[in-house]
Amino acid sequence: MCGVFGAYSPSDFVAEEVYLGLSALQHRGQESAGVAWIDNNRRVNTIKGMGLVHEALSQSVLAETPVRSAIGHVRYSTAGGSMLQNAQPICANYAQGPVAIAHNGNLTNFDELRGILENRGAIFQSTSDTEAILQLLAHQPKRSPFEALLRALAEVRGAYCLVVLLEEGLVAARDPWGFRPLSLGKRGDNYYVASESCAFSLLGASLVRDIAPGEVVLINGNGVTSYSLPIKSPKKWLCSFEYVYFARPDSVIEGRSVYGTRQEMGRKLAMSWGASGADFVASFPDSGTTAALGYAQASGMPFKAAVVRNRYVGRTFIQPTQKVRELGVRIKLNPCPELFRDRSAVLVDDSIVRGTTAGLVVSMVRECKARSLHLRISSPPIKYPCFYGIDTPSSGDLAAAKCDEDDMARTVGADSLHYLSKEGMIEAIGLPPDSLCTACFDGEYLEGAKSFNHPPGCCGGIFD
């Protein structure tokens, strides 16, 4: 999972605004960050580095950079390792002009594309799947960069939300299935594109609309022009896990408040799996807090901030190694002994992925001499790997793939454990069931869905 941000202005310098937009999207990636722009000499420039936005980028330098269009990226790796050469945006000054690309998602046919391109002489400089899009552009020397981009996107499979910088303007593109969110914002004459609408508020901009699945938007001096990819999908496939965990609660995706959906997940969880005799409800902050508030409201039990989060530690699920995740949990979360001692508590979290956080937090609460602990999860059990941009590459990494509820309760040390049903989660989100991807919960991947109209043959139109 990554975060992308783009800005265009007919009159203002926007490099610093991209920095601020990336800061608002920091929760989507903490491994690297970068900003790219095109200068007056028709050359693409980039600043990027490893770590958080404020570590990888200089706000003061970007504030003094005189550019009216720029893009940025925050990354956690799902395809390609965590290294500087894979940090984005990826950029090139090729024969047709400068180009920079920032990508959120996973291309499921990357290996196929890379093999074809390398056989035609392409030399890849990274292991990131995003570079395949750049190489596809470069192999179309007779087409304008924007036309080449449209044809390139007709060849890729999987999940992608892109912000692309060309001489023609700022481009935003979303895959035909709409796996990942992408929004258009505006402040005065300035336009912004972001993975989540929460990034607009920081800049005083407002949400205009979502970029539609299969839509490509070109933003330049002519305003906003919309194009459609030739690929037609019979259904949307928006990732339900965005509502469960990834998105910030102050974002709005497809017209649905993330905060509201998480609170409703907690309410439905309480109605299905109350815990009689418990004294209070607590959460795994911050991702479980909104659902815990809904659970407390529906159950009539008080909510207490009994587990405290260190605000200077990032998300543990998106840390690159298991060892770092385990250490991160202990540094990040700490229970209040006086609240748990001799009390029965319901602990609410948004999900169990690898089981790292749940087991360690329950263990720490047990040390506080709690009378009993009941774990409630405001999403279904995650049993299947994601191939569309979440770092769960195999079922062996997923705790729920190996344990039922009773086994999971014993594994993490809880007196009881229950999940929200898939039906309850979908009802809480409030979108049509056939518009949501629930593959990580039920194993129903895109490849198993009804076939969609796609031009035959990989790269069939690229090398004509």
Supply the residues annotated as catalytic: 2
3-state secondary structure of 371: coil
| Residue that has been written with the tokens 């748990």 in this structure | 340
For the four alpha carbons of 278, 279, 284 and 287, in that order, the dihedral sign comes to positive
In sequence order, what are the beta bridge partners of 161?
A: 104, 174
Q: Residue 1 in contact with residue 188, Cβ under 8 Å?
A: no
Q: Residue 370 in contact with residue 343, Cβ under 8 Å?
A: yes
Give the tokens for residue 435: 């518009």
From CA 439, how far away is CA 447, in angstroms rounded? 11
Q: Residue 385 in contact with residue 379, Cβ under 8 Å?
A: no
From CA 199, how far away is CA 169, in angstroms rounded? 21
For the four alpha carbons of 250, 252, 253 and 255, in that order, the dihedral sign comes to positive
From CA 389, how far away is CA 353, in angstroms rounded? 15
CA-closest candidate to residue 400, choices 390, 413, 388, 412: 412
Q: Residue 167 in contact with residue 97, Cβ under 8 Å?
A: yes
- H-assigned helices in 42-125: 53-56, 59-63, 110-119
| Residue that has been written with the tokens 């390398």 in this structure | 118
For the four alpha carbons of 456, 94, 77 and 37, in that order, the dihedral sign comes to negative
3-state secondary structure of 300: coil
Give the tokens for residue 332: 């990040």
Distant-in-sequence, close-in-space partners of 295: CB < 8 Å, separation ≥ 6: 266, 267, 269, 270, 281, 301, 346, 348, 376, 378
Give the tokens for residue 278: 């418990």
